[in-house]
Structure 1
Amino acid sequence: MRRRVARRLQAALATLALAAATGAVLSAPSASAATGGATGYATQNGGTTGGAGGQTVRATTGTAIHAALCGRATSSTPITIEVEGTVNHGNTAKVSGGSCNTAAGVIELKQISNVTIVGVGAGAVFDQLGIHIRESSNIVIQNVTVRNVKKSGSPTSNGGDAIGMESDVRNVWVDHVTLEASGGESEGFDGLFDMKDNTQYVTLSYSILRNSGRGGLVGSSETELSNSFITYHHNLYENLDSRVPLLRGGTAHIYNNHYLRINESGINSRAGARAKVDSNYFEDSKDVLGTFYTDAAGYWQVSGNTFDNVTWSSPGTENNPAGPDPQSNTSVSIPYAYTLDAASCVPSVVSRTAGAGKGLQVSDGACSPQTPAPTTPAPTTPAPTTPAPTTPAPTTPAPSTSAPSGTNLSIGAGSDGSGKADGTSYGNVRDGDPATYWSPAGTTGYVSIKWGSPTAVSRVVVKEAAGATGRIGSWRLLNADTGAVLSSGSGAGAVTFARTTLSKITFEITGSSGTPQVAEFETYAG
């Protein structure tokens, strides 16, 4: 017992010493410096509160930020890190610890949860140094500037992304930030706000993205379609060539943004992506909406937008602009409440609220800025790759194996999913053959059934391949159109839920006792 106490005391003293040496100041738990609460898709899937309710730490260097992460009791202990000053390569070193996984030359938020990074005082600038978010959840980044992050030349950081998310990331709210570069790819810069490899439930709000070749992408290729449920609102996109954003698959809600001088292409919906584009103001720009540089079509629902001096190119094999008279070619359901400002006042309200150092003001829904009150919700502790569902227990006490009546709607439908193991196929879950199967690339992942038009479903049956029964542990059943959780539980079998009309339904495996093998993912109307 004495040895354990001594070891803990030594660890605590070491953390204090490291904090002092790196410029971190520890304080007692207090209200978060972050203001307001998350909006958009970041409110779903259990919500996004960051480090609310935990300890608050002041940091003036990147090393101090890493030290604060490493000084926590666990990788999910809530913490708010208030940053002031300039963070750069020279003051950002790797720090080791059981509650962190950091690297030199980049702010590394890896395999952690429940963290807020917020700029305070005279402001926080991440100069030529990007922010990684990897295998993490419940992250808030607010009121900071990230500038001139390079992927080539010197110095390099974060693959060239100002803020980049990758590998099983859930619930991130980025708010009132300024992301900027000084040129395009030929000058060594890449994306300002990128999401890849199963990143979901993200909101970018009241932010500025400017002076770059690429605004940001969702999905790294036409076959990497695991990213979804992203909201962009009240942002200024200024002097960007393209990707504002580039969407490969998934669902995005894009509203009340001001697009100014988009030089080549704007919202690029590709590979089956579905974007709801509401009350934005597009100004002095070209091809602000459509499918570009590919023949893999994407879709959009448009309403209330203003197109001010926007030019449109002619359609081609790999060029499908939505204009000059943009019309909806899909419908997108949004699961959260929001208030639209009229597009006509978007340039004004965005200019007064968006970006770092604007007092964290937001629109009141009637085009007037206001400062929201600080919020101090209780901390949450979702796991990095298995966040808590937004709905309670499944509608049935436990899956059963009884066969439903009616037609299996999966036969003849489409399918896709997260990574797949060699020799397996998404189509195997809808071919009616129990001898074929899909396996994720690891022990978790998801597979979806999709239809060309909205389809009513109230029951599914998940069957494991012979010889692999019992491997599926925890799972969630999702309305892939909206991100809503229809049911959750453990083990394969039949699940009944409230009748829902949707175009795509997803079975997400969040825990397993080995590599799952899903032989059939059957869907039924009743």
Structure 2
Amino acid sequence: MRRAVALRLSTALVTTAATVATGLFLTTPHASAASGGATGYATQNGGTTGGAGGKTVRATTGTAIHAALCGRASSSTPIVIEVEGTINHANTAKVSGTSCNTAAGVIELKQISNVTILGVGSGAVFDQLGIHLREARNIVIRNVTVRNVKKSGSPTSNGGDAIGMESNVRNVWVDHVSLEASGGESEGYDGLFDMKNNTQYVTLSYSTLRNSGRGGLVGSSETDVSNGFITYHHNLYENIDSRAPLLRGGTAHMFNNHYTRLNDSGINSRAGARAKVENNYFQDSKDVLGTFYTTTVGHWQVGGNIFDRVTWSKPGSDYKPAGPDPRSTTTIGIPYAYQLDGAACVPATVSRTAGANKGLQVSNGC
């Protein structure tokens, strides 16, 4: 049995300066102190540490987040940005500087590296405002809620993605976040967690993805296959129509996730993608694994999963469910150490640990 890792937020904050107009507060470097390190593929390619070792600032507006990025000595100077309160369009403006490239109406992490965004205190909510990573490296996002980001209607942000990554992004750890929408594309929403155009070495852990038409994708088209090395573990996917996730090319590792109410399809491995799917709990869902809506098939290795009230469609030329008796079609080696919980424990463990404002708790095994 695995011992629980104690994860907590430091409350010892010493304010040295404040810019009330932007909601930015500078604190001493030791005050960042969210313990615990990255997991999964984010540990590879040199690892993912975010802004560890850098200055810590407190931000209560989106403008303050941008100001913190722009106030660094360079675009790679480490920084931890502790966020509290509601971040929205009204308080998120563009800030200019030589160490940043920001925009209004979105949290823009563009052409930068070595940054941690950490929700603290009473919580951080990005309301109708997405987080966008482009040409970024070594980014950590933890303990925040991102909700109701739209690509159509009003207001719009980040192409409708709660968290979106594109164009040569490397080493990102997203942990204990809550990603939510209030419908699908017809209601103006897009994906909750999207990666495209050469995004690699990413981990999504202990997070919740709810009430969306699209959970997320890896690769924007059948030819965008330069993405990969993604880990998804101890996450809850609930009331998602499809893309849990959609994989186009690359390698992904899904373990100890709880999938419930996947309404149309789940893990969609296509265009040569390879998915290792182990010790997950699938419940009250349809076609939770396979190649869907394309003739360019993907592959999977399965083991230890529980399929609880899962239904499977008949296969067709562009629709190839892995069930009703899922079998492995490839073998995938995982380069990092990890410990599996038994699939039967997953719903209770994920309920206790996944999402923002859970104290950054992790599994202590079964």
Q: Which amino acid aligns with 2:257?
A: N
Mapped to 1, the partners of 2:301 and 2:341 lie a distance apart of 17
Partner of 1:195: 195
The residue correspondences of 1:358-373 to structure 2 (distance < 5 A) are 358-364=358-364, 366-367=365-366
Given the alignment of the two structures, is residue 241 of structure 1 paired with residue 241 of structure 2, yes or no?
Answer: yes
Partner of 1:301: 301
Q: Which amino acid aligns with 1:41?
A: Y
- Segments of structure 1 that go 5 or more residues without pairing to the other structure are 1-15, 368-526
Partner of 2:22: 22
Secondary structure of the residue that 1:349 maps to in structure 2? helix
Partner of 1:261: 261
The residue correspondences of 1:328-347 to structure 2 (distance < 5 A) are 328-347=328-347
Rg comparison, structure with higher value: 1
C-alpha distance after superposition, 1:5-44 (max 9, x if no partner): xxxxxxxxxxx78x44201001232253433100000000
Partner of 1:147: 147
Partner of 1:92: 92
Q: Compute the RMSD of aligned alpha carbons.
A: 0.9
Does the 8 A contact of 1:218 with 1:245 survive in 2?
A: yes
Q: Which amino acid aligns with 2:184?
A: G
Mapped to 1, the partners of 2:360 and 2:33 lie a distance apart of 11
Mapped to 1, the partners of 2:201 and 2:343 lie a distance apart of 25
Mapped to 2, the partners of 1:153 and 1:226 lie a distance apart of 32
Partner of 2:49: 49
Q: Which amino acid aligns with 2:32?
A: S
Does the 8 A contact of 1:201 with 1:228 survive in 2?
A: yes
Does the 8 A contact of 1:60 with 1:84 survive in 2?
A: yes
Does the 8 A contact of 1:33 with 1:82 survive in 2?
A: no
Equivalent residues, number = 350
Given the alignment of the two structures, is residue 280 of structure 1 paired with residue 280 of structure 2, yes or no?
Answer: yes
Partner of 2:14: none
Mapped to 2, the partners of 1:339 and 1:283 lie a distance apart of 22
Mapped to 2, the partners of 1:313 and 1:222 lie a distance apart of 23
Partner of 1:326: 326
Mapped to 1, the partners of 2:33 and 2:256 lie a distance apart of 26
Q: Which amino acid aligns with 1:315?
A: P
Mapped to 1, the partners of 2:108 and 2:33 lie a distance apart of 21
Mapped to 2, the partners of 1:91 and 1:239 lie a distance apart of 31
Partner of 1:437: none
Partner of 1:292: 292
Mapped to 1, the partners of 2:76 and 2:32 lie a distance apart of 16
Mapped to 1, the partners of 2:20 and 2:30 lie a distance apart of 20
Mapped to 2, the partners of 1:35 and 1:261 lie a distance apart of 33
Does the 8 A contact of 1:106 with 1:157 survive in 2?
A: yes
The residue correspondences of 1:442-481 to structure 2 (distance < 5 A) are none
Could you state the TM-score of these two structures normalised by the residue count of structure 2?
Answer: 0.95
Mapped to 2, the partners of 1:357 and 1:35 lie a distance apart of 15
Partner of 1:271: 271
Secondary structure of the residue that 1:100 maps to in structure 2? coil
Partner of 1:411: none
Mapped to 1, the partners of 2:263 and 2:29 lie a distance apart of 47
Secondary structure of the residue that 1:346 maps to in structure 2? helix
Secondary structure of the residue that 1:363 maps to in structure 2? coil
Does the 8 A contact of 1:34 with 1:142 survive in 2?
A: no
C-alpha distance after superposition, 1:82-123 (max 9, x if no partner): 000000000000000000000000000000000000000000
Mapped to 1, the partners of 2:43 and 2:296 lie a distance apart of 30
Given the alignment of the two structures, is residue 118 of structure 1 paired with residue 118 of structure 2, yes or no?
Answer: yes
Q: Which amino acid aligns with 2:163?
A: I
Q: Which amino acid aligns with 2:139?
A: I
Mapped to 2, the partners of 1:183 and 1:245 lie a distance apart of 17
Secondary structure of the residue that 2:32 maps to in structure 1? coil
Partner of 1:63: 63
The residue correspondences of 1:155-174 to structure 2 (distance < 5 A) are 155-174=155-174
Does the 8 A contact of 1:99 with 1:112 survive in 2?
A: yes
Mapped to 1, the partners of 2:290 and 2:209 lie a distance apart of 20
Partner of 1:101: 101
Does the 8 A contact of 1:256 with 1:341 survive in 2?
A: yes
Task: Give the Å deviation of 1:56.
Answer: 0.3
Partner of 1:208: 208
C-alpha distance after superposition, 1:130-165 (max 9, x if no partner): 000000000000000000000000000000000000
Could you state the TM-score of these two structures normalised by the residue count of structure 1?
Answer: 0.66
Does the 8 A contact of 1:31 with 1:52 survive in 2?
A: no
Secondary structure of the residue that 1:90 maps to in structure 2? helix
Task: Give the Å deviation of 1:170.
Answer: 0.1
Q: Which amino acid aligns with 2:293?
A: Y
Partner of 1:132: 132
Q: Which amino acid aligns with 1:253?
A: H
